[in-house]
């Protein structure tokens, strides 16, 4: 069998391995491996004109070469050019071959930064090549590529050059490009790899040059095409339709102590309609903390069960999964259903009993963490998967989930609003429903910014709140660098508060606690047998204790805004007025001040996310948990919103009218690489 040759020219296995580290496995990848910056080697400067601080190239002859041993081993050259200017050159790392090379009288080009040295101007470790006056100068700027250990610029340049030897077809028709006012692909690529000496270097370096815009557009288009293709493929997939039968859902609704808000009603009917379709649902239910997503998800589970199917309800932490189980299982059981609970920390016998019930179809609803989909267990008739706090799951975990069983319907929930540009580019395959109003009767949480120097006042307030029958959270400072330090901090805070507030019953919960212990502490707090819960950010997600009306967050300036908003959402769950105290360490940086101001002024998660995006840029919002997503190399979601919109529109048209164009474009940009995930 003939194996496809990845490159059109000979590449040694060693070089291939290094290129692969850069994600380069074929010609097309080399073509798209674009320079980080460029160096101007087209001009020779006269030594007499050099100024300290500038980077320059000189053509000079070695007058003298000597090795000094003090203060450290150094090869020092004195070189002179035709202008009669003299320049010092120093190498701190050198080989005997260098000494041989720099014979007096030999002629070289040196490129480097000019410095004012002890004995006049000098260059330290310049790049150099043997050349005399007749050696031709390059006609264009010299590209400097991103590279990897052991792969020199010269080798990489040569490889790119060879890949560029063939003509480059444009994947997009000329009339489309005209309409978008974008240059051709080949022109853009060649310009970026080999800019002419008079190219607008500033525009190239800030990536505002039209050639960059063309590449950003192509990249976005490839992404949009593959997302749209995934979406179409999903629509062609068949799955079990789960139409509304109103047998369980109606009884459940009748039994609720409240009526659904209009927003819940609307999102619920969108989901109910999705479930009735013959292709799998992929819907993201967004709603601020406390907006009441759980009830809507419970209704979805019941519609699956009405049709004789099972539902899996998955949460990112054991605390949260258990809380869902505790809250929902009784009302499900009241409807005659059986629920199972599966967690990583369960005893083996319990777990296998639970799986047995699931496999036999005896349990209709299964609660758990991602352990649900990492184990060998199987479902008898899985119809729906609910993923709570979707943003907390890694992409890999979500993939594992999709591969399990025959494409069940999926409902994802998130309280972290995804800004529009991110939603358009990374989550374009999802349908989105938004719960945009909170249930009535909530008293908004009062937020106070307090300097840490007034910690004593805060302690007094905590004491007072707890002694008058309320409960409080104390959130420990976030130590991102080290889990060990984080644990230490939590324990120290707990010890300090225990001595400072001896009249209170205080508990501690953190991420390193054994799940059973964690649950015991949470249960005690929920039952009211603890007054104050000292916690790390493990309580950030979904924990629901309506009697807790005060939260203190230490070092609030270290936390992300989304995180602060989530934390704050843990109070204000009952009808009494709640307070969130953000303790900060003065003095605040300007950015920290701006961020705390946002959280102080707004209680609307979407507004907070929008402002946060403006402050920080979109990259960070995806967070490291999302790092499985292929990132954009050339496009910038802030800068290129117009291109993103154009790419989205064109992708739809392209797939419908010119599928061959779409295929060629995706192949060039994505090719072998993992197709952009459709999750
Ligand atoms: P989240 O969207 O953050 O997951 P939850 O589903 O936990 O919010 O709901 C928060 C609280 O609001 C719960 O105690 C829930 O019982 C209550 N709740 C949900 N919907 C309504 C409603 N329509 N009216 C009153 N309370 C509601
Ligand atoms: Mg929730």
Q: Is the pLDDT of residue 354 over 50?
A: yes
Q: Is 340 in the pocket of ligand 1 (CB under 6 A)?
A: no
Residue 296 has pLDDT above 90, yes or no: yes
> What spacing in Å lies between the alpha carbon of 295 and ligand 1's midpoint?
7
Does 570 contact ligand 1 (Cβ within 6 A)? Answer: no
Distance (angstroms) between ligand 1 centre and the Cα of 260 equals 9
> For 276-363, where are the alpha helices, taking DSSP H only?
293-306, 318-334, 348-359
User: What is the structure's pLDDT at 93?
Assistant: 87
Average pLDDT over residues 171-193: 95
Query: How far out from the chain centre does Cα 312 lie?
Result: 26
Q: Averaging pLDDT over each range in 111-125, 251-265, 333-347, 433-447, which range is the top one? A: 251-265
* Range of lowest pLDDT (271-275, 577-581, 670-674): 670-674
Q: What pLDDT, on a 0 to 100 scale, did the predictor assign at position 574?
A: 76
Which one has a higher pLDDT value, 23 or 276? 276
Alpha carbons 82 and 161: distance in angstroms, whole number: 33
Q: Is 102 exposed, middle or buried, given 0-12, 13-18 or 19+ CB atoms closer than 10 A?
A: buried
Evaluate if residue 176 carries a pLDDT over 70: yes
Question: Cα–Cα distance between 233 and 676 in angstroms, integer?
Answer: 13
Q: Which ligand is located closest to the Cα atom of residue 541?
A: 2
Ligand 1 nearest-atom number relative to CA 435: 2
Ligand 1 mutation pick, 262, 267, 294, max ligand atoms within 8 A of CB: 294
Least reliable range by pLDDT among 104-113, 282-291, 338-347, 541-550? 541-550
Q: Distance between CA atoms of 627 and 674, rounded to whole angstroms?
A: 13
- Percent of the residues in the chain that have a pLDDT greater than 70, as a whole number: 91
Q: Is 545 in the pocket of ligand 1 (CB under 6 A)?
A: no
Say whether pLDDT at 675 is over 50: no
Best substitution site from 262, 290, 292 to test ligand 1's pocket, by max atoms within 8 Å of Cβ?
292
Q: Apex CA 126: angle with CA 122 and CA 131, to 5°?
A: 105
Looking at ligand 1, which residue's alpha carbon is closest to its atom 4?
293
372 within 8 A of 386, measured Cβ to Cβ: no
DSSP states of 135-184 as a string?
A: SPPPSBPEEE----TT--HHHHHHHHHHHTSS----SS-HHHHHHHT---
Per-residue pLDDT averaged across 229-255, rounded?
90
Write the residue with the smallest CA distance to atom 18 of ligand 1: 292
Ligand minimally distant from the alpha carbon of residue 290: 1
The Cα 160–Cα 166 span in angstroms is 11
Atom 12, ligand 1: which residue's CA is nearest? 292
The answer to whether residues 535 and 475 touch, using CB atoms and an 8 Å cutoff, is yes
For 603-644, how does the pLDDT look when each residue is reduced to its tens digit (9 = 90+)? 888 788 778 777 765 555 444 334 344 567 888 877 888 999
Measured CA to CA, the distance from residue 633 to residue 215 in angstroms comes to: 10
User: How confident is the model at residue 626, as a pLDDT?
Assistant: 40
Q: Which has the closest alpha carbon to 541: 432, 652, 416, 373?
A: 416
Would you say 621 and 613 are in contact if contact means Cβ atoms under 8 Å apart?
A: yes
- Pick from 576, 582, 566, 550: which is nearest to 290 by CA? 566
Name the strand (E) or helix (H) holding 627: none
Q: Single out the residue of 42, 111, 40 nearest to residue 79, CA to CA.
A: 111
| Ligand 1 atom with minimal separation from the 260 CA | 23
Which residue's C-alpha comes closest to atom 15 of ligand 1? 292
At residue 541, does pLDDT exceed 60?
A: no
Which residue is listed with tokens 């979500």? Answer: 398
402 SS3 class? helix
Centroid of ligand 2 to alpha carbon of 40 (angstroms)? 57
3-state secondary structure of 212: helix
Per-residue pLDDT at 2 exceeds 50: no
DSSP 3-state of 78: strand
Going from the Cα of 394 to the center of ligand 2, the distance in angstroms, rounded, reads 18
pLDDT score at 306:
97
Indicate which residue's Cα is closest to atom 16 of ligand 1: 292
- From CA 228, how far away is CA 648, in angstroms rounded? 9
Quick: pLDDT tens for 484-516.
888 888 999 999 999 999 999 999 998 788 878
- Say how many Å lie between the CA of residue 542 and the centre of ligand 2: 5
CB of 294 shorter than 6 A to ligand 1 = yes
- Residue 267 beta carbon below 6 angstroms from any ligand 1 atom: no
Judged by average pLDDT, the poorest of 18-22, 204-208, 351-355 is 204-208
Pocket test of ligand 1: the residue of 256, 260, 290 to mutate, having most ligand atoms within 8 Å of its CB, is 290
Q: Is 568 in the pocket of ligand 1 (CB under 6 A)?
A: no
Residue nearest to ligand 1 atom 25, measured at CA: 439
* pLDDT band at residue 478 under the 50/70/90 scheme: confident
85-90 mean pLDDT:
94
Neighbour tally for 623: CB within 10 Å: 13
Q: Which ligand has the nearest atom to the CA of 544?
A: 1
The predicted structure's pLDDT at residue 71? 82
Query: Which residue has better confidence, 459 or 623?
Result: 459
- Whether residue 538 is predicted with pLDDT greater than 80 in this model: the reply is no
pTM of full prediction above 0.85:
no
> Where residue 419 falls among pLDDT bands split at 50, 70, 90?
low
CA distances for 8 relative to 17, 189, 193, 626, angstroms: 16, 18, 19, 35
| Higher local confidence (pLDDT), 482 or 644 | 644
Answer whether 287 contacts ligand 1 (Cβ < 6 A): yes
What mean pLDDT do residues 449-455 have?
Answer: 94
Most trustworthy range by pLDDT among 90-94, 360-364, 442-446: 360-364
Q: What integer pLDDT is reported at residue 627 of this predicted model?
A: 38
Q: Is any ligand 1 atom within 6 A of the Cβ of residue 261?
A: yes
- 540 or 357: whose pLDDT is higher? 357
Averaged pLDDT for residues 77-85:
94
Ligand nearest to C-alpha 388: 2
Tokens for 420?
């529009």
Among protein residues, the one with the nearest Cα to ligand 1's atom 24 is: 439
Determine if ligand 1 sits within 6 Å of the CB of residue 258.
yes
Ranges 6-15, 337-346, 355-364, 532-541: which has the least confidence: 532-541
- Asked whether 416 lines ligand 1 (CB < 6 A), one says no
* Predicted pLDDT at 676: 39
Q: List, in sequence order, every beta strand (DSSP E) within 335-485.
A: 339-342, 365-368, 382-387, 409-414, 431-435, 446-451, 471-475
Q: How far is the CA of 438 from the centre of ligand 1 (A)?
A: 8
**Does residue 144 register a pLDDT over 60?**
yes
Quick count: other Cβ atoms within 10 Å of Cβ 653? Answer: 12
| d(CA 294, ligand 2 centre) in Å | 6
Q: Are strands 107-113 and 127-130 parallel, antiparallel or unpaired?
A: antiparallel
User: What end-to-end distance do the CA atoms of the chain give, in Å?
Assistant: 36
pLDDT at residue number 637: 76
* Atom nearest to 258 CA in ligand 1: 24
CA 668, CA 520: separation in Å to the nearest integer?
55
Decide the pairing of beta strands 55-68 and 74-80. Answer: antiparallel
pLDDT score recorded for residue 163: 94
Question: Residues 192-225: pLDDT tens digits?
Answer: 999 998 888 888 888 889 999 999 999 999 988 9
Query: What is the C-alpha separation between 668 and 221, in angstroms, rounded?
Result: 11
Return mean pLDDT, the chain: 87
Check residue 414 and give its pLDDT: 85
From the number of C-beta atoms within 10 Å of its C-beta (0-12, 13-18, 19+), residue 90 rates as middle
pLDDT of residue 465: 94
Q: Is the dihedral of CA 171, 174, 180, 186 positive or negative?
A: positive
Mutate to test the pocket of ligand 1, among 439, 573, 603, 606 (most ligand atoms within 8 A of CB): 439
Largest CA distance in the chain: 98
- Higher-scoring residue by pLDDT: 594, 268: 268
Cβ(439) – ligand 1 distance below 6 Å: yes
| Residue nearest atom 10 in ligand 1 by C-alpha distance | 290
Residue 173: C-alpha distances to residues 210, 647, 655, 660 (Å): 17, 14, 14, 11
Atom of ligand 1 nearest to the CA of 259: 23
CA distance 521 to 543: 13
Does 195 sit in the ligand 1 pocket, CB within 6 Å?
no
DSSP notation for 527-590: HTS-SEEEE-GGGGTT---TTEEEEEETTGGGS-HHHHHHHHTTS--SSS--EEEEEEPSSPPH
Q: Tell which atom from ligand 1 comes closest to the C-alpha of 546.
A: 14
**The predicted structure's pLDDT at residue 677:** 38
Give residue-wise pLDDT tens across range 110-119: 999 999 877 7
What percentage of the chain carries pLDDT values higher than 90? 52
3-class DSSP state for residue 88? strand
Q: Is the beta carbon of 295 within 6 A of some atom in ligand 1?
A: yes
CB 370 within 8 A of CB 390: no
Centre of ligand 2 to C-alpha 300, Å, is 15
Nearest CA owner, ligand 1 atom 17: 292
Task: Give the 3-state DSSP-derived string for 484-511, with helices as H, strands as E and coil as C.
Answer: HHHHHHHHHHHHHHHHHCCCCCEEEECC
- In this structure, which residue's CA is closest to atom 13 in ligand 1? 292
Structure tokens at 49: 């004109």
Q: Is the pLDDT of residue 471 over 90?
A: yes
Q: How many angstroms does the Cα of residue 544 sit away from the middle of ligand 2?
A: 9
Ligand 1 pocket, residue 260 CB under 6 Å: yes
The pLDDT assigned to 371 comes to 78
Residue identifier of the C-alpha nearest atom 9 of ligand 1: 292
């Amino acid at each position: 069998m003939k194996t496809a040759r990845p490159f059109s020219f000979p590449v040694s296995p060693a070089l291939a391995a290094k290129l692969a580290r850069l994600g380069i496995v074929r010609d097309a990848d080399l073509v798209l491996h674009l320079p980080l910056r460029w160096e101007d080697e087209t001009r020779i400067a006269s030594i007499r004109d050099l100024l300290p601080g500038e980077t320059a190239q000189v053509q000079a002859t070695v007058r003298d070469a000597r090795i000094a041993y003090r203060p450290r081993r150094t090869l020092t050259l004195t070189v002179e050019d035709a202008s009669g200017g003299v320049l010092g050159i120093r190498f701190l790392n050198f080989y005997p071959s260098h000494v041989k090379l720099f014979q007096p009288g030999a002629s070289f080009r040196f490129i480097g930064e000019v410095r004012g040295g002890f004995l006049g101007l000098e260059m330290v470790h310049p790049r150099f090549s043997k050349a005399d006056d007749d050696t031709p100068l390059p006609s264009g700027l010299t590209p400097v590529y991103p590279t990897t250990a052991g792969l020199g610029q010269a080798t990489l340049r040569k490889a790119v050059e060879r890949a560029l030897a063939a003509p480059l077809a444009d994947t997009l028709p000329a009339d489309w490009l005209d309409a978008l006012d974008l240059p051709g692909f080949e022109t853009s690529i060649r310009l970026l790899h080999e800019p002419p000496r008079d190219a607008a270097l500033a525009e190239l370096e800030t990536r505002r040059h039209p050639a960059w815009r063309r590449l950003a557009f192509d990249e976005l288009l490839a992404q949009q095409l593959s997302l749209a293709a995934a979406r179409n493929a999903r629509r062609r997939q068949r799955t079990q339709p789960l139409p509304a039968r109103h047998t369980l859902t109606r009884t459940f609704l009748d039994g609720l102590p409240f009526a659904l808000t209009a927003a819940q009603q609307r999102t619920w009917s969108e989901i109910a309609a999705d479930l009735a379709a013959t292709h799998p649902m992929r819907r993201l239910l967004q709603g601020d903390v406390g907006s009441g997503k759980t009830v809507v998800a419970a209704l979805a589970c019941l519609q699956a069960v009405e049709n004789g199917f099972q539902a899996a309800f998955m949460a990112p932490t054991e605390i949260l999964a258990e809380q869902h189980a505790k809250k929902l299982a009784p009302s499900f059981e009241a409807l005659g259903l059986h629920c199972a609970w599966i967690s990583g920390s369960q005893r083996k016998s319990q777990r296998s009993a639970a799986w047995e019930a699931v496999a036999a179809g005896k349990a209709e609803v299964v609660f758990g963490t991602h352990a649900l989909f990492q184990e060998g267990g199987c479902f008898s008739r899985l119809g729906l998967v609910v993923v709570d706090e979707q943003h907390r799951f890694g992409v890999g975990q979500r993939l594992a989930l999709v591969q399990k069983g025959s494409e069940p319907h999926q409902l994802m929930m998130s309280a972290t609003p995804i800004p529009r540009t991110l939603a358009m580019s990374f989550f374009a395959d999802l349908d989105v429903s938004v719960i945009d109003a909170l249930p009535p009767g909530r008293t908004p949480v009062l937020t106070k910014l307090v300097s840490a120097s007034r910690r004593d006042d805060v302690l007094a307030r905590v004491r007072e709140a707890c002694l008058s029958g309320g409960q409080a959270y104390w959130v420990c400072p976030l130590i991102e660098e080290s889990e060990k330090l984080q644990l230490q901090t939590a324990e120290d805070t707990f010890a300090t508060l225990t001595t400072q507030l001896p009249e209170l019953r205080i508990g501690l919960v953190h991420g390193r606690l054994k799940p059973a212990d964690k649950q015991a502490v949470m249960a005690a707090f929920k039952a009211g047998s603890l007054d104050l819960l000292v916690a790390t950010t493990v309580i950030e997600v979904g924990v629901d204790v309506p009697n807790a009306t005060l939260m203190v967050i230490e070092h609030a300036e270290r936390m992300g805004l989304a995180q602060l908003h989530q934390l704050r959402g843990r109070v204000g769950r009952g009808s009494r007025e709640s307070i969130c105290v953000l303790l900060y360490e003065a003095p605040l940086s300007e950015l920290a001040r701006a961020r705390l101001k946002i959280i102080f002024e707004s209680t609307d998660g979407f507004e907070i996310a929008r402002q946060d995006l403006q402050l920080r840029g979109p990259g960070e919002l995806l967070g490291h948990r999302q790092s499985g997503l292929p990132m954009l190399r050339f496009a910038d979601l802030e800068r290129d919103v117009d291109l993103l919109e154009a790419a989205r529109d064109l992708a739809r048209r392209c797939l419908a009218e010119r599928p061959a164009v779409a295929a060629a474009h995706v192949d060039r940009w994505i090719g072998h690489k993992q197709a952009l995930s459709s999750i």
